[in-house]
Structure 1
Amino acid sequence: MPAALNEVKRRISSTQKTAQITTAMQMVSTSKLSQIQHHTSGYQIYAAKVESVVTHLAASHLLDSGSVSTPSTSSNDDVPASGLMTQRPVKKTGLLVVTSDRGLVGSYNSNIIKSTNDFMHQHGGSQNDYVVLAIGGTGADFYKKRGLNVAYEYRGVSDVPTFVEIREIVKTVVAMYNNGVFDELYVCYSHFVNRLTSRFRSTRMLPITSDTVIDTKPDGDESGSAKAAAAGINITPEYELEPSAEEILQVVLPQYAESLVYGAILDGKTSEHASSATAMQTASDNAHDLIGNLSLQYNRARQSAITTEITEITGGQAALE
């Protein structure tokens, strides 16, 4: 067999093996996507309830600075509520950037990093005015190489993250905020819309105030209170609080902070699995197209070689006659 045919045959075999790998990876990513979507659907009910409570507290001005005196200690040992409402002049802005630890996820990581960089540019200031808290190795490595202050990084987030591991992240983030490492915090991540579409979001997490709870809704998704305020309607809900506003805030605010971070990481992981499944499907389709083209090329070359051999035999036989 000619050397050219052997090379084409080798490429066909190699591409077939690659297609088998990408197809298997697509099936794994699709399975992970199904698992995390099932897990997220139950969590979203809880998150919506917590957000509803905090939104009503904000509408009743319980989150306004000075309206409630939060105790210095919290009944929640993991996430203290005392510092979540503390407002101070913004000298450093924290960015909690959620990316993946690995590649083979299409444009997932590049879109998040590009959009986060655009957010910093629009927000203003130099790179020294920002502190990066990286969830995922890709974002951590990217910003480290470019000289930004990566004050915290967390690698190895589970494919379907548990609430326990996220609480440790929230606890660390709140402690850094209380210690003055940054003066405000935005969570930057990829929001899952559907299997083919994701949308970048940057949600302000700290400090928790009436304005950030009511008015800062991703993608223009305003609460009913915010829409009423925009229409010039002044809503002042009245509540009978038991045991007290202080103790209610001690429970609700940490849960709200946890729900923001956990929801963002769940959302980002869902988008990651969807992007990985789509990328592997595209790779498999491209491999099959390449195999088809190579097979056609191989068959044509083989047919040409056979035709040449037949012609030579016929010509030799004619010469003998």
Structure 2
Amino acid sequence: MPGIKEIRSKIKSVQSTRKITRAMEMVAASKMRKAQDRMKIFRPYASNMRRMAVHLMQGNPEYSHPYLNERKVSSVGIILVSTDKGLCGGMNTNISRLVLSKIKEFSKDNIEVYTSAFGQKGLNLLTRIGSNLLSQETQLGDVPDIGKLSPVMDVQLKSYMDGKIDSLYIASTRFVNTMKQEPVFSRLLPLSENLEDPYYENDNKTHITDTKADTKVYNWDYIYEPDSRTVIDNLLDRYVDCLLYQAVVENMASEQSARMVAMKAASDNAKRVIDDLQMVYNKNRQTAITKEISEIVSGASAV
């Protein structure tokens, strides 16, 4: 049985750990609220961007942008969105497993894979497996900057336009609620029919149905400056950037939520360990006191 001094040392060590996890939990909770607000503000923007692009394409059915053309797939690009730091539960593990399984599926079909990474954890994974890494960006901070995201995305877009890859996918974590975040592997290019949201295409599709309904009811007739093709090209470029930004924003909200939950679980576990150690400490202390009293009584009786 461990001695009193050793138990006391363990209790102090666990208490110090609990202070750290509690502080990290509160920091993550504060950042989580800001990240969720940022995500909720951006979702209507992405939805309206999608709606506008659908309207423009419906008004110009004779023009087909390269982003909309299906190709025979011989090579694909994958953009992995992860976190720079750990201590966020199984979030990075789940998205890493999903990406590895998809890469194995593509490899079985003799499809070459080119990758890009956002976040240090994803970069470490892609480097470790020896993937064809085209671009990367780490240390994204708490607020995503499109200026740091675009160069990484542009490398993949150029590969797509040059015919080096035939499809482009993005792997990220979708925010469902504070307690649930799910990994998502979605196709960015070619864009889906009517520009359905790749992050919510498996949901109830109410927002997709609304968009389709609008295109059927109204005859969209715009006046373009300088011309319709230039406007559609620029809008679809912005729309693809919008999808990337949405993935990063949702991933950051998921990260802070997962970290808050993980640190709360760690704090609760530390409290249980402290309680158990305190009980053992009290028992040992009581045993030692009882032993000392017995020795004193025995000594007095002998005298």
TM-score relative to the length of structure 2: 0.88
Q: Residues 121 and 220 (structure 1 numbering): CA distance in 2 closer, same or farther, change over 3 Å? A: farther
Q: Where does the alignment leave 5 or more consecutive residues of structure 2 unmatched?
A: none
- 1:28, CA displacement in angstroms? 1.1
1:274 alignment counterpart? 257
Q: Where does the alignment leave 5 or more consecutive residues of structure 1 unmatched?
A: 71-82, 229-233
After superposition, residues 97-108 of structure 1 pair within 5 angstroms as: 97-108=80-91
2:281 alignment counterpart? 298
1:224 paired to 2:209: yes
2:9 alignment counterpart? 10
Counterpart contact for 1:97–1:187, Cα < 8 Å = yes
- Aligned partner of 1:40: which letter? M
Q: Residues 285 and 69 (structure 1 numbering): CA distance in 2 closer, same or farther, change over 3 Å? A: closer
Counterpart contact for 2:137–2:148, Cα < 8 Å = no
- Aligned partner of 2:195: which letter? V
1:80 alignment counterpart? none
After superposition, residues 105-184 of structure 1 pair within 5 angstroms as: 105-121=88-104, 125=108, 129-184=112-167
2:30 alignment counterpart? 31
Q: Residues 147 and 194 (structure 1 numbering): CA distance in 2 closer, same or farther, change over 3 Å? A: same
Q: Residues 107 and 215 (structure 1 numbering): CA distance in 2 closer, same or farther, change over 3 Å? A: closer
Counterpart contact for 2:51–2:211, Cα < 8 Å = no
Q: Residues 225 and 46 (structure 1 numbering): CA distance in 2 closer, same or farther, change over 3 Å? A: closer
Counterpart contact for 1:128–1:149, Cα < 8 Å = no
Deviates more, 1:89-98 or 1:217-226: 217-226
CA–CA distance in structure 1, aligned partners of residues 258 and 221 of structure 2: 47
- Aligned partner of 1:259: which letter? C
Q: Residues 203 and 221 (structure 1 numbering): CA distance in 2 closer, same or farther, change over 3 Å? A: farther
% identity of equivalent residues: 27
Match of 1:239 among 215, 220, 245: 220
SS in 1 for 2:108: coil
What RMSD in Å do the two structures reach over aligned CA positions? Answer: 2.6
- 1:132, CA displacement in angstroms? 1.6
- 1:164, CA displacement in angstroms? 3.0
SS in 2 for 1:283: helix
SS in 2 for 1:291: helix
SS in 2 for 1:218: coil
- 1:10, CA displacement in angstroms? 0.6
Deviations 1:207-266 (A, max 9, x none): 235x272485532343117877xxxxx948532131142132033111211110000000
Counterpart contact for 1:92–1:182, Cα < 8 Å = yes
Q: Residues 138 and 212 (structure 1 numbering): CA distance in 2 closer, same or farther, change over 3 Å? A: farther
TM-score relative to the length of structure 1: 0.83
SS in 2 for 1:300: helix
- For this pair of structures, how many residues does the alignment match? 297
1:20 alignment counterpart? 19
- Aligned partner of 2:230: which letter? E
Deviates more, 1:17-26 or 1:180-189: 180-189
CA–CA distance in structure 2, aligned partners of residues 53 and 261 of structure 1: 18
1:259 alignment counterpart? 242
CA–CA distance in structure 2, aligned partners of residues 313 and 227 of structure 1: 90
Match of 1:192 among 168, 175, 183: 175
- 1:149, CA displacement in angstroms? 1.6
CA–CA distance in structure 1, aligned partners of residues 259 and 221 of structure 2: 49
- 1:93, CA displacement in angstroms? 1.0
1:73 alignment counterpart? none
- Aligned partner of 1:45: which letter? P
SS in 2 for 1:220: coil
- 1:125, CA displacement in angstroms? 3.3
SS in 1 for 2:187: strand
- 1:268, CA displacement in angstroms? 0.6
CA–CA distance in structure 2, aligned partners of residues 274 and 56 of structure 1: 36
1:68 alignment counterpart? 63
Counterpart contact for 2:4–2:281, Cα < 8 Å = yes
Deviates more, 1:131-140 or 1:280-289: 131-140
Deviates more, 1:116-125 or 1:126-135: 116-125
